[in-house]
Amino acid sequence: MTASILAEAIRTLQDGGIANARQEARWLLNQILEASAGQSRRSDDGLTPEQEELLRSRLNRRVAGEPLQYIMGNVDFHCVQLDIGPGVLIPRPETEQLVEIAIGLYPGDGEICDACTGSGAIAIALAKTFPQAKVTATDISARALAWARQNASRLQLANVAFHQGDLLAPIPPAARFALITANPPYIAPDEYTRLDSTIKDHEPPEALIAHDHGQAIIKRLACDARTRLNPGAWLVCEIGDTQGPPLKEHFRRQGYQNVDIRRDFAGRDRFAIAQQPA
């Protein structure tokens, strides 16, 4: 019975132009079946009318272009599963690489800050990896922070705190950090207009767009972080793939040392690291 439901779901997604229809239909159906595991099911092992209706509505949302992750309501990120939905950026796989770079640069003690935290992805992955570290995260968006707080609370992480505001401004003035991370908005306004409508119609524009060729927020953070990093501490930022050379120059002019641009698995410049002089 569920085989015929699955076949119909695949057909719906294929007819709707979804490239990965077979896999997505399986995920959507499995999520509904797993939610009812342990509850009484119909004897023919099919879906109840409510479940069928739920599946139909989720397939329709997907065909209408809503990102699968919003419909599923969660995403795997690094060492955790995060709840996500409208109002917050869907964490991307390349940002897991930023977490790995940050883990390699963290000296083992001292506070950590994650600016532009969104769903809390980077802050939560670091708080989970370093349970002894105090992690402070900021975001300008109250909607995004609601997701971040929900995630930290569900994962029972007591070592991460969230503040609403611009970059490092909402953090207590005396706080100093052994590591600052950020995946800030870095897409130039003209580049944003060319993005896929699945992104433009659903993900928050304030999570993506930055002026000055996409570099405005990263440049401001580079300046602010100089006053907040301990001697020898690192700033790690995700960047756009054409922004390596100008940002390297900017970080150097700000007085950082050991400035470097790291590549993602596809070989594109995607991360800037810079060290506060000792």
Ligand X SMILES: C[S@@+](CC[C@H](N)C(=O)[O-])C[C@H]1O[C@@H](n2cnc3c(N)ncnc32)[C@H](O)[C@@H]1O
| Site for ligand X contains 89 (CB under 6 A) | yes
Query: What contacts 24+ positions apart, CB below 8 Å, involve 77-80?
Result: 77/119, 77/121, 77/124, 77/125, 78/121, 78/125, 79/125, 79/128, 79/129, 80/124, 80/125, 80/128, 80/151, 80/155
Report the C-alpha gap between 226 and 24 in whole angstroms.
Answer: 45
| Site for ligand X contains 140 (CB under 6 A) | yes
| Site for ligand X contains 83 (CB under 6 A) | no
| Site for ligand X contains 167 (CB under 6 A) | yes
The dihedral over CA atoms of 231, 122, 193, 202, expressed in degrees to the nearest 10, equals -150
The closest residue (CB) to ligand X is: 118
| Site for ligand X contains 183 (CB under 6 A) | yes
Report the C-alpha gap between 68 and 172 in whole angstroms.
Answer: 38
37, with CB counted inside 10 A (0-12, 13-18, 19+), is exposed
The nearest distance, CB 19 to ligand X, in angstroms, is 23
| Site for ligand X contains 122 (CB under 6 A) | yes
Q: Which is nearer to ligand X, 115 or 239 (CB)?
A: 115
Tokens in use for 119?
């769903």
The dihedral over CA atoms of 247, 193, 165, 130, expressed in degrees to the nearest 10, equals -60
**In the set 67, 85, 87, 91, which binds ligand X (CB under 6 A)?**
91
**In the set 51, 117, 215, 275, which binds ligand X (CB under 6 A)?**
117
The answer to whether residues 218 and 209 touch, using CB atoms and an 8 Å cutoff, is: no
CA-to-CA dists, residue 194 to 91, 108, 191, 198, angstroms: 20, 42, 5, 12
Q: Which is nearer to ligand X, 10 or 168 (CB)?
A: 168
Stretch of 13-21, 136-144, 192-200, 261-269 contacting ligand X, by CB under 6 A: 136-144
| Site for ligand X contains 138 (CB under 6 A) | yes
**In the set 80, 207, 247, 272, which binds ligand X (CB under 6 A)?**
207
| Site for ligand X contains 97 (CB under 6 A) | no
Stretch of 15-23, 47-55, 102-110, 118-126 contacting ligand X, by CB under 6 A: 118-126
**In the set 68, 102, 112, 116, which binds ligand X (CB under 6 A)?**
116
Contact set with ligand X (CB under 6 A): 89, 91, 95, 115-119, 121-122, 138-141, 144, 166-167, 183-185, 206-207, 217
